[in-house]
Structure 1
């Protein structure tokens, strides 16, 4: 039941980026990392295995999941760059402009970005670089068993503690590949934690955890600890939501169907929301109506465009890619 959760996180990222809402997108990205750590460990253990053939299938499927839709998003940006004024584009994102050399072209095609890489035709793609790194690390077996995973988590905790004690900047604790080790290892560890078979009321737990996450967000803002204590409390609460969701089983086929449909919107939303923001400004400009980035009408109109475009991408492109991915997937491992 992760589809709706993923899309909620993606929408929070949109609101954070286009609405100038502090930390809501930041907290959501680390939520994505925890979920990825859990899911990648689960599919390696239950579907692909750690043979060379299994790893090859896994990496091929990750490639098909990440790159085709991403390339469509950068083509969207290129169309905007060639047809929209530089000023209008920079109003929404200063990172969207034509690559000026071979290195920047290669980085934008391959999704291999450093912390300071510019341009990024799809601005939030820096996080995909982080995801790809940990996809490969998990394929290498770092979460192959609970002992490796626990060691990884403890090492990540020590590293994060070292950064906090050393007063490292929040950027260093958020944007870098090593910083993401904690949420990924935490997500992987969730796979090995057994749920209480007598536990009930998972939906009530989700409600309570959601209230706690919202409360932590506002309390952290009030006490100015959003980059420190609040950030890591959110990490813990997000892990609990993912753990609880992983143990919610439903036989309702309609519910499963809609969860899948909603979940399919999450990745396109994440990739094209800046471009949809530019498109929103253009539409209102054409109607002789001025709006500003960060305004409620700008965020809502951009989000509506983004949802519609993401739905089209999911139907006409992602579903076709999913057929190919299904052919790559091996039979489920039962042992």
Structure 2
């Protein structure tokens, strides 16, 4: 029996759903959300290197089109999600309910620095409360969008990024106590982006290892290790998942993408952005315990439905404003 096509769109939907599940379901198996975030980083490193080397090029016109289109992809929907989050926080603060049990960073920004981070997503600004509490990973991604034109210039540049990223992680110590800093601060996250850029530049040589379904299933099965070794995700599990993510991305690269796969991919970003806010809307009726049947299922269904509306009414119309890449791709000097 021929298996259905599993492409980048479906994989992005699964990754976003795993991140959402970690906040919507209190008994979600540990590790999957962190693995999913770093898989997104690998995928971004791969895809940005691919479009820079095959679509935009490295001259001024190409880089400007790349930067503008990345801005249009990230910020309009993020600002919409931030407004939704702020209104939700304002309402719940007014009735005396703290939403941090859903996500510890889901609270009102306070000082100028907090608001500057919320508006700009600049990773060099110290963050506080966030109306989109998963925005830290998004800020890291924005920062590396600025650096990827350097890593995409050559295999040597990507290798340098991998080596520096690996050394930074090793210097911090691969122990449970350092997990938060290794996983969710800017410099250590150089590693997954550089790995994505590197495997993109070796994608032809890596073709022989393409196994779309096998790589994806092995990636999922790796998360089960937590059941037997609960410290695994917070130590070496993150790096095993990094290798498996690179294999999965290389395997899915040449997969054809139909309408369903594209829609699933389009849904992934708004799902990632709004799931915590949607979860908050269920708190009064369902409480903070977040069981699977009575909290996760309705909250996730509402998240997907609202994400579909955002894609149809906002995201796809905005995509028409993107700049066309140059007719001639200028390679890196």
Bin the TM-score by the shorter chain: 0.7 to 0.9
* Preserved CA contact (<8 Å) 2:278 2:303: yes
Counterpart Cα distance in 2 of 1:305 and 1:17? 14
* Preserved CA contact (<8 Å) 2:114 2:126: no
CA shift digits 1:263-299 (9 cap, x unpaired): 10011000000011012234xx2xxxx4443311211
1:189 counterpart residue number: 198
1:87 counterpart residue number: 97
| Shift in CA distance, 276/142, structure 1 to aligned 2, threshold 3 Å | same
1:265 counterpart residue number: 267
* Preserved CA contact (<8 Å) 1:78 1:121: yes
Counterpart Cα distance in 2 of 1:221 and 1:171? 20
For the residue of structure 1 that corresponds to 2:234, the secondary structure is coil
Q: How does 1:283-322 map to 2 (within 5 A)?
A: 285=285, 290-296=286-292, 297-322=294-319
* Preserved CA contact (<8 Å) 2:206 2:250: no
Q: How does 1:1-335 map to 2 (within 5 A)?
A: 1-20=7-26, 21=28, 22-84=30-92, 85-87=95-97, 89-113=99-123, 117-139=127-149, 141-164=150-173, 169-195=178-204, 199=208, 202=210, 205-223=211-229, 224-248=231-255, 250=256, 256-282=258-284, 285=285, 290-296=286-292, 297-325=294-322, 327-331=323-327, 333=329
For the residue of structure 2 that corresponds to 1:67, the secondary structure is helix
Counterpart Cα distance in 2 of 1:96 and 1:31? 23
Counterpart Cα distance in 2 of 1:167 and 1:86? 34
Counterpart Cα distance in 1 of 2:111 and 2:330? 49
What is the root-mean-square deviation in Å for CA atoms of aligned residues?
2.4
Unaligned runs of 5+ in 1: none
| Shift in CA distance, 19/150, structure 1 to aligned 2, threshold 3 Å | same
**Superposed displacement of residue 217, structure 1:** 1.5
| Shift in CA distance, 134/3, structure 1 to aligned 2, threshold 3 Å | same
CA shift digits 1:50-82 (9 cap, x unpaired): 112211111111111111000100111122233
The TM-score normalised by the length of structure 1 is: 0.87
**Superposed displacement of residue 222, structure 1:** 1.3
* Preserved CA contact (<8 Å) 2:207 2:250: no
* Preserved CA contact (<8 Å) 1:60 1:328: no
Unaligned runs of 5+ in 2: 1-6
The TM-score normalised by the length of structure 2 is: 0.88
* Preserved CA contact (<8 Å) 1:91 1:293: no
Counterpart Cα distance in 1 of 2:41 and 2:305? 26
* Preserved CA contact (<8 Å) 1:195 1:247: no
Counterpart Cα distance in 2 of 1:166 and 1:291? 34
For the residue of structure 1 that corresponds to 2:82, the secondary structure is helix
| Shift in CA distance, 171/165, structure 1 to aligned 2, threshold 3 Å | closer
**Superposed displacement of residue 91, structure 1:** 4.2
**Superposed displacement of residue 328, structure 1:** 4.2
Counterpart Cα distance in 2 of 1:215 and 1:63? 35
| Shift in CA distance, 198/213, structure 1 to aligned 2, threshold 3 Å | closer
* Preserved CA contact (<8 Å) 1:27 1:231: yes
Pairs aligned (count): 319
**Superposed displacement of residue 152, structure 1:** 1.8
